[in-house]
Amino acid sequence: MRSEARPAEIRALSGARALPPLVLVLFHYCEQRGYFGVPAVDLFVGKGYLWVEFFFGLSGFILIHVYGGRAASLFRPRNYLTFLQTRLARLYPLHLATLLLLLALVLFTRAIAPLTGQASIFDQPYHPIVSPLTFVANLFLVQAWNLFPYLSWNAPAWFVSAELLLCLLFPLYAIIARGGSRRGMLMIAAGMAGLAALAQTSGNDGLDITFHNGIFRGMAGFAVGAGMAVVHRRMRSVDIHLANVLQVGVIAGLAFAIYFGGPRHSVDDLLVAALEMALVFVLAFDRGVGAWVFRSTPLIRLGEWSYAIYLVQYPLIQSLRTLRQYYPHEWRPLGEWGGVVPWVEAGGLLAAAIGLGALLTITIERPINARLRRLITARG
C-alpha cells in the first residue's frame, strides 16, 4: 500500500476526538464514586458510556476514508500484514504502557498494605480482575473477545481489544464499502440494526456493553461509520449554509436526546448513539460553524492526546481510590453524594488525565509509533 495515496486529514474530526474521553473519565469516576446531585451535569455524564459509539463510528469512517480506495489490495497477504502492523503501531504502545502502569499500581498497593493497615483496593469489592490469565489476555489484546465474564486490568482497554478485532476484519468492511450511496446506506442500516438488537437483548445495560458482546457493539458501530464514509465520499462537499444547518441540527438533537431522550441503559440509548455517530458525518465536511469550533487549536491538541487520556484514566481512578483511604475522617461524609470533595476530586482527575495523557503521547505514543512505522516501511 502506498502512503502517498493517503487522503488529507479532516481537522474537524481530529478536534472532535477531544471531548468524548473527558466525558468518559467523568462517567467512570461517577459510576465508581457517585454522581454530583446536579441534574444538568449528572444527566450528561450519566450517558457518557455512549461516546464509545462515537469512537467506533469515527474509526470506521476514518479507515474507509483512508483505505477504502485500496480495498482489493488488503487481500494480498503482504499488504494486509502491513496494514495490521501499522494499526498495531498506533494502538499497542500506549496500551502496553498503561497496562504496565496498572500492574505497578497493583504491586505497590499490595506491598504497602501491611505497612498501612489498609487493604489494597485490588483486594476489595468493585475492582477489575487482575489475575495472571487475564494479564496474558490483555497483552494479546483479546480480553474483550467474549473470553471472560468480567472486565480485567485496565478496564477501558476493552475498546482497544475490540478495535484490534475490527482491524483484523477490516478488509471485509472495505470490500462491502466499494459501491455507491445505496451500499453506504445499507451498511448504516445494518449497523443500526445490530445496535438495536444488542440494546434489546442486553437486559438493563442498554448499549453499555463491554466484556460481553462488546465486540459486536464495535462491529455494528464500525459498520455505521464505514457506511457514512461511503455516503460522504459520494456527496464530496456541501454548501456552507447546509453544513451549518446539519451541524447545528445534529448537536441540538444530541443535546435533546441526552437530556430528554429517555432513561439510560435502555433501548433509548439508540437515539443518542445514532446522533453521536451522525456528528462524525456532519463534521467530516470540515466546514461550517461546528467544524470551525472543533478545528480550534486547543481542541486539536486535546484530540491528539485523546487516546492516551482514555487509556490512562483507569490507573488514575484506581490511584484516587487508594489515596481516598487516607483522607481525614471528616472529609469522607462530604465525598459520598455531595459537598466539595467530589468536585475537587473530579477536577483533579481530569487535570491529571489531560496532563499525563499529553506526557504519554509525547514520550511514548508519537516516538514509538514513528519508529515502528519507519521499520514497517523499510521492510515493505
Asked whether 294 and 9 are in contact (CB, 8 A), the reply is no
| Tens digit of each residue's pLDDT (9 = 90 or more) over 323-349 | 888 777 655 554 444 577 888 899 999
Cα 72 to chain centroid distance, Å, stands at 28
pLDDT of residue 44 exceeding 70: yes
| Tens digit of each residue's pLDDT (9 = 90 or more) over 137-158 | 999 999 999 999 999 999 999 9
Classify the C-alpha dihedral 178-179-180-185 as positive or negative. Answer: negative
Position 30, amino acid = C
The candidate with the shortest Cα–Cα distance to 172, out of 53, 299, 60, 327, is 60
**52: pLDDT confidence band, cut at 50, 70 and 90?**
very high
Q: 349: part of which helix (H) or strand (E)?
A: helix 341-360
The whole-model pTM stands at 0.91
Radius of gyration over every alpha carbon of the chain, rounded to an integer in angstroms: 21
With a pLDDT cut of 70, the percent of the chain lying above it is 95
How far apart CA 213 and CA 220 sit, in angstroms, is 11
pLDDT of residue 334: 47
More confident residue, 162 or 9: 162
Asked whether 254 and 86 are in contact (CB, 8 A), the reply is no
Mean pLDDT, residues 12-22 taken together: 94
Mean pLDDT, residues 10-18 taken together: 92
pLDDT of residue 118: 83
Mean pLDDT, residues 56-82 taken together: 88
pLDDT of residue 115: 85
How far apart CA 34 and CA 338 sit, in angstroms, is 9
Query: What residue ranges do the domains of the chain occupy?
Result: 3-379
pLDDT of residue 371 exceeding 70: yes
pLDDT of residue 4: 44
Mean pLDDT, residues 200-218 taken together: 91
